[in-house]
A and B are shown apart, each in its own frame.
Chain A
Amino acid sequence: MLGYIWQYVYSSFLRYWLKWLIRQATGKCELQRICSGYKPGATRTEKTEYSLRSSKNKVLRGALETSKDKLEQCVDQIMKEKNVKHQKDPLFKESLHICLLQITGYSSLYVSVEDLRKEVFSSENAEHEAMLLKLWDLLMPTVKLESRITKQWGDIGFQGDDPKTDFRGMGMLGLINLVFFSENYTKEARQVLSHANHPKLGYSYAIVGINLTEMAYSLLKSGALKPHFYNTVQGTPELRHFHQLYCYLAYEFDKFWVAEEPESIMQFNQYREKFHNIVKTHLQDPDVCLTLTVSSKN
């Protein structure tokens, strides 16, 4: 209860008085202090985000919802509102601009990811079909697919004769992630597939991949991936950065699974939860970078 009262008093009054006092003493506004006090990355951007969100000023709060092409203008406006002189703090403008690109970019990345997730795999769509066949060729270069509907799909870890029913709640996002991993980290993807096809320690490569897409998607949606993207992308995070994160999860999950030696595939959800917790713990670290350490082809 006391905690709540303190929280209320702090955020409604004390914070502003404190900020005013420090501003008078240092001659710098809070945003300037954040940008000069922290190195580029998660801490700086998250503090900037918090500062803007709790601001009383409409221009500052509005910055969080500004589109990418209007951000530069928005930074100028903020500097005017806060009376920041470019000559006195030449680095501030660029720093704040990058922070805003990251903050607004995270929201727009979620929108793009959600669009792909909602796009249902359709056999009538030639592009979808081509992508599915590409996945096969990338993973099984020496084996020809006998027909479009075949038990062979089980060899790369789909459930039945036709993969289309396996995409479900993840839609095209699941397939694009699978193809991205196989295309950009072909050697690693084939290595993971060979582990997945192990007669005792194996799992279903494709549907576990779709499941890990769900993990990446939920982490993105909850905001948990902010520190990762703020540390790894100095600008707007794009779809490919999300696919890269999937590659990290697919590769690391396989390593984890092989090391843990589960009794059987029936233990999957238990180990998935364990892995999920490890990832979430990493994301608590302000210096987190969930990047696949092997070099990708591009």
Chain B
Amino acid sequence: HDCLLFHRLLQGLLSILRKLKSTPDQEVRILLLGLDNGGKTTLLKQLASEDISHITPTQGFNIKSVQSQGFKLNVWDIGGQRKIRPYWRNYFENTDVLIYVIDSADRKRFEETGQELAELLDEEKLSGVPVLIFANKQDLLTAAPASEIAEGLNLHTIRDRMWQIQSCSALTGEGIQVSLNPPPNSPTKFLCALILLFSPCFCFS
């Protein structure tokens, strides 16, 4: 069983690498989506090591590029309010990684967030794109654990892509263990970054 898992892991990573080699400038497009007040912009600013104390609701979108060791992570943070969700699809093209952010304390909207995620996973332009789900706001006492959210969203039924759920607090930085500085001279710099980004590891179903 372990052997099979390892084989599939290798295959998945190799396909990403191949894709990367074909783009000369090694750019990775990461799309951040989720309902409003989920913490997408805070996460984005944490990734870019910026001040997170003056954040306001996102009208439209924010983009940040993080340059690291020969590759460039372009992170797109799209506003989550209902009124602008129809625009999400304009940003699907060429996405390498989808990050879906959930407010783990906003239980009233678990159903709504699940529906939006399910719709995203059905999108043709996002087919096969690895998805990382952040169960955010774990610093709040009322936050649901990641396992409960995974169960509620039926994540185990995802079979067509790599996925991972990770509990985190964008506010404190906990769980986002992103090191954008993989060891120098490593042959697979991008791989390092991606694995670190998707810490602790990918899940394959």
A residues apposed to B, CB below 8 Å = 117, 154, 159-160, 165-166, 168-170, 174, 203-204, 207-208, 210-211, 213-214, 217-218, 264-270, 272
Interface assignment of B152: CB less than 8 Å from any CB of chain A? no
State the Cβ distance, B154 to closest chain A Cβ, in Å: 24
Question: Is B56's CB under 8 angstroms from A159's CB?
Answer: no
Do residues A207 and B59 form an inter-chain contact, with CB atoms below 8 A? Answer: yes
**Considering the complex, which residues of chain B in the window 18-65 have a beta carbon less than 8 Å from any beta carbon of chain A?**
36-37, 52-57, 59-62
> When the two chains form their complex, are residues B54 and A204 in contact, meaning their CB atoms are under 8 A apart?
no
**Complex Cα spacing A272 to B59, Å:** 10
| Cβ B36 vs Cβ A159 within 8 A | yes
- CA A70 – CA B56 in complex, angstroms? 38
Q: How far is the CA of A269 from the CA of B58 in the complex (A)?
A: 9
Q: Complex Cα distance A291/B90, Å?
A: 39
Q: Does A211 lie within 8 Å of B57, measured CB to CB?
A: yes
The 5 lowest CB-CB distance pairs between A and B, nearest first, are A268-B60, A159-B81, A268-B59, A165-B37, A207-B57
Complex Cα–Cα for A211 and B83 (A)? 17
Q: Shortest CB–CB separation between residue A118 and chain B, in angstroms?
A: 9
Please, which residues of chain B bring their CB within 8 A of the CB of A266? 60-61, 84, 87, 90
Indicate if B7 sits at the interface (CB-CB under 8 A). no
Does B82 reach chain A (CB closer than 8 Å)? yes
Is B83 a contact of A269 with CB atoms below 8 Å? no
Contact call B81/A170, Cβ cutoff below 8 A: no
CB contact between B60 and one of A160, A166, A267 (< 8 Å): that residue: A267
Q: Are B37 and A265 in contact (CB under 8 A)?
A: no
Whole-angstrom CA separation of A70 from B83 in the bound complex: 53
Contact B61 A269, beta carbon cutoff 8 Å: yes
A164 to B, closest residue via Cβ? B37
28 A-B residue pairings within 8 Å (CB atoms): A159-B36, A159-B81, A160-B36, A160-B37, A165-B36, A166-B37, A169-B56, A170-B56, A174-B56, A203-B59, A207-B56, A207-B57, A210-B57, A211-B57, A211-B59, A214-B54, A217-B54, A218-B54, A265-B59, A265-B83, A266-B60, A266-B61, A266-B87, A267-B60, A268-B60, A269-B60, A269-B62, A272-B59
A170 contacts B59, CB within 8 Å?
A: no
In Å, the complex CA distance between A159 and B83 comes to 8
How far, in angstroms, from A214 to B53 measured CA to CA in the complex?
11
What's the dominant secondary structure at chain A's contact region? helix
What number of A-B contacts does a CB cutoff of 8 Å give? 69
Question: Chain B residue with minimal CB distance to A214?
Answer: B56
| The residue from B37, B60, B61, B87 contacting A159, defined by CB atoms under 8 A apart | B37
CB of B185 to closest CB in A, whole Å: 36
Q: Among B59, B61, B80, find the residue whose CB has the most chain A CB atoms closer than 10 A.
A: B59
In the complex, which residue of chain A has the Cβ closest to the Cβ of B54?
Answer: A169
Q: A277 to B81, alpha carbons, bound, how many Å?
A: 27
Q: Which residues of B contact A169 (CB under 8 A)?
A: 52-56
Q: Distance (Å) between the CB of B177 and the closest chain A CB?
A: 24
> Could you say which of A159, A169, A218, A270 has the most chain B C-beta atoms within 10 Å of its C-beta?
A159
- Per the bound structure, the CA–CA distance linking A203 and B37 in Å amounts to 18
B59 / chain A contacts, CB cutoff of 8 Å: 203-204, 207-208, 211, 265, 268-269, 272
CA distance in complex: A204, B81 (Å): 10
Chain A residues lying within 8 Å of B80, measured Cβ to Cβ, are 159
By beta carbon, the residue of chain A nearest B36 is A159
| Shortest distance between the CB of B102 and any CB in chain A (Å) | 14
B109-168, CB < 8 A from A: none
Task: Tell whether, in the assembled complex, residue A265 and residue B53 are in contact, meaning their CB atoms are under 8 Å apart.
Answer: no
Q: Are A211 and B56 interface neighbours, CB within 8 A?
A: yes
Q: Return chain A residues, CB-CB under 8 Å to B36.
A: 159-160, 165
User: Bound complex: CA of A106 vs CA of B81, how far in Å?
Assistant: 36
Interface residues of B in 75-89 (CB under 8 A from A): 80-84, 87
When distances are taken between beta carbons in the complex, the residues of chain A under 8 Å from B53 are 169
Residues of B contacting A166 in the complex (Cβ-Cβ under 8 angstroms): 37, 57
Residues of B within 8 A of A159 (CB): 36-37, 57, 80-83
Chain B residue contacts of A211, Cβ below 8 A: 56-57, 59
User: Which residues 189-203 in B have Cβ within 8 Å of A in the complex?
Assistant: none
How many angstroms between the C-alpha atoms of A217 and B56 in the bound complex? 12
Complex alpha-carbon distance, A154 and B106, angstroms: 19
Q: Which residues of A contact B82 (CB under 8 A)?
A: 154, 159-160
Distance of A203 Cα from B81 Cα, bound (Å): 12
Contact present for A210 and B56 (CB under 8 Å): yes
- Kindly state the separation between the CA atoms of A168 and B36 in the bound complex, as whole angstroms: 12
Q: Complex formed: what's the CA distance from A210 to B37 in Å?
A: 14
The residue of chain A having its C-beta at the shortest distance from the C-beta of B80 within the complex is A159
